[in-house]
Amino acid sequence: MAAPPPPPPPPPPPPPPPPQAQPQALNARGIPKAHFIEDVDAFITGTDPDQALQELQQMLAKYRFMENNKRQRRQGLAEKVPELQRTLAMVETLQRKKEADQSFDTTFELSDTLYATGCVEHVDEVYVWLGANTMLSYPLSAALSLLSDKLTAAQASLRNVREDLDWLREQITITEVNVARVYNWDVKRRREIR
């Protein structure tokens, strides 16, 4: 009987990742930091000035696109937070009236310009719009918890969006200055060539 063949040698280790010239700085939500170009000559060395200018303009367009998206998000959240606050206040009122075993008169909005008056008596549950044309019935305590959580999350998102907009304005300004400096450097270089 022959001896079993020796086991194959282990595979070689994977090559190390290529070194990066400069780690990319990001804000808390992953938006890259624009680096100010202090020495345009060193920045342009080995590359075409038109290509460098085009890359900077593409980065500027990306920042502006992100800024536009964040502005739209801020607008949506700015409308959502007061609506959640009003809804939460109403559910809290219903909870207080239920605990005091009181009924109360109120005005209901039927449409944008049409209202009706009604008496609200003992209420055990409320119907909450969840979005996407979805409404669910919740007991008052569960509705309070849900709405409080949603309000807290919406307020945190609004703060984050405002921070991102401030960050993006700074990055846009830095990139615009970089574009102007590279453009002016190229104009000066072309004049010297003539």
User: What does the pLDDT look like over 73-105, one tens digit per residue?
Assistant: 999 999 999 999 999 999 999 999 999 989 889
Of 4-13, 118-127, 161-170, which one has max mean pLDDT?
161-170
Is the predicted pLDDT of residue 188 greater than 70, yes or no?
Answer: yes
Q: Give the pLDDT confidence score for residue 19 in this predicted structure.
A: 37
**What one-character-per-residue DSSP string does the chain give?**
-PPPPPPPPPPPPPPPPPPPSSPPPB-TTSPBPPPP-S-HHHHHTTS-HHHHHHHHHHHHHHHHHHHHHHHHHHHHHHHHHHHHHHHHHHHHHHHHHHHTT--EEEEEEEETTEEEEEEE----EEEEEEETTEEEEEEHHHHHHHHHHHHHHHHHHHHHHHHHHHHHHHHHHHHHHHHHHHHHHHHHHHHHH-
Type of residue found at 38: E
pLDDT at 2: 63
Q: What is the CATH number of domain 48-193?
A: 1.10.287.370
Q: What φ, ψ does residue 67 adopt, rounded to 5°? A: -65, -45
- State the pTM of this model: 0.75
Domain coordinates in residue numbering, the chain: 48-193
